[in-house]
């Protein structure tokens, strides 16, 4: 399998994005990292260069909801590194409230960040990959995409189902071509997005989760449930069980 030397990660200033960046740096990959918080990106770049002084690490501040900036930043990364071999669409938002409780603004922000902004990132990545005639697009979905979810994660789950569908359609289009599309379905991995969640089944720490994510991404699968145990069998169960039973699981 081709080594993906130049990797772009959005939402890289903390959590899973930063964790994956550390592991890719240790593997000798050049990194293009963007997020809203430039100070954190600067600190992360220093940390990554200490891990592996031989790599290139380029950073850019980016709010993925500024769609024009998404395209511009991706192009600047391409020019800085010469090419982009892998783009990990990781930036996302976890807030939301039950529908009809007066929090449309929060649900709308979640929908726009997790789906429309993800679409912009896919468009920007695919423009570059089509020109290069190569590349690996990685869409970070969620196990919550398996079924509709209730209460605070209703909108979040819907957006993650949306990006999974987007990736699958693109994967179908790219069959037989030198552009690979992977959808990653993380289970409960501790990060800033869920730091206030006290009780979640099968939660793993950030480092363990990121190791599993990077291992899965490097294989360039069509789909991966991460960590595979117990989420691969649970994912199947969530898709086929009656909603009354899925409700108890979530």
DSSP annotation of 237 reads H
Q: What is the pLDDT of residue 48?
A: 98
CB burial class (10 A; 0-12, 13-18, 19+) of residue 91? Answer: buried
Which segments in the chain show pLDDT lower than 70? 1, 191-201, 249-250
139 close to 166: Cβ distance less than 8 angstroms: yes
Q: What is the pLDDT of residue 23?
A: 98
Q: What is the pLDDT of residue 194?
A: 47
Give domain 6-249's CATH number out of 3.40.50.720, 1.10.630.10, 3.40.50.9100, 1.10.10.10: 3.40.50.720
According to DSSP H, which parts of 62-182 are helical?
67-81, 104-111, 117-132, 154-174
- Could you give the CA distance from residue 86 to residue 28 in angstroms, rounded to a whole number? 14
Please give the positions annotated as active site.
156
Nearest to 168 by CA among 128, 241, 221: 221
Strand, coil or helix: 57: strand
Q: What is the pLDDT of residue 249?
A: 66
Question: pLDDT tens digits for 165-178?
Answer: 999 999 999 999 99
Q: What is the pLDDT of residue 52?
A: 97
For the chain, the structural domain boundaries read 6-249
Beta-carbon count within 10 A of 241 CB = 15
């Amino acid at each position: 399998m081709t080594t993906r030397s130049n990797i772009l990660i959005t939402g890289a200033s903390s959590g899973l994005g930063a964790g994956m960046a550390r592991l890719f740096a240790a593997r000798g990959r050049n990194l293009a990292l963007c997020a809203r918080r430039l100070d954190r990106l600067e600190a992360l770049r220093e940390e990554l260069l200490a891990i592996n002084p031989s790599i290139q690490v380029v950073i850019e501040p980016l709010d993925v909801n500024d769609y024009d900036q998404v395209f511009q930043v991706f192009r600047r990364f391409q020019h800085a590194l010469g090419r982009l071999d892998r783009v990990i669409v990781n930036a996302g938002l976890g807030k939301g409230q039950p529908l009809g409780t007066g929090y449309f603004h929060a649900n709308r922000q979640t929908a726009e960040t997790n789906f429309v902004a993800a679409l912009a990132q896919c468009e920007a990545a695919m423009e570059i990959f089509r020109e290069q005639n190569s590349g690996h697009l990685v869409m970070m979905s969620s196990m919550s995409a398996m079924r509709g979810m209730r209460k605070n994660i209703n909108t979040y789950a819907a957006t993650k189902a949306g990006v999974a569908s987007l990736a699958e359609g693109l994967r179908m289009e790219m069959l037989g071509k030198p552009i690979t599309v992977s959808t990653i379905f993380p289970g409960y991995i501790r990060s800033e997005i869920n730091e206030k969640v006290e009780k979640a089944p099968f939660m793993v720490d950030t480092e363990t989760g990121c190791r599993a994510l990077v291992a899965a991404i490097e294989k360039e699968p069509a789909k991966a449930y991460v960590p595979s145990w117990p989420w691969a069998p649970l994912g199947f169960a969530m898709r086929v069980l009656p909603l009354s039973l899925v409700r108890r699981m979530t």
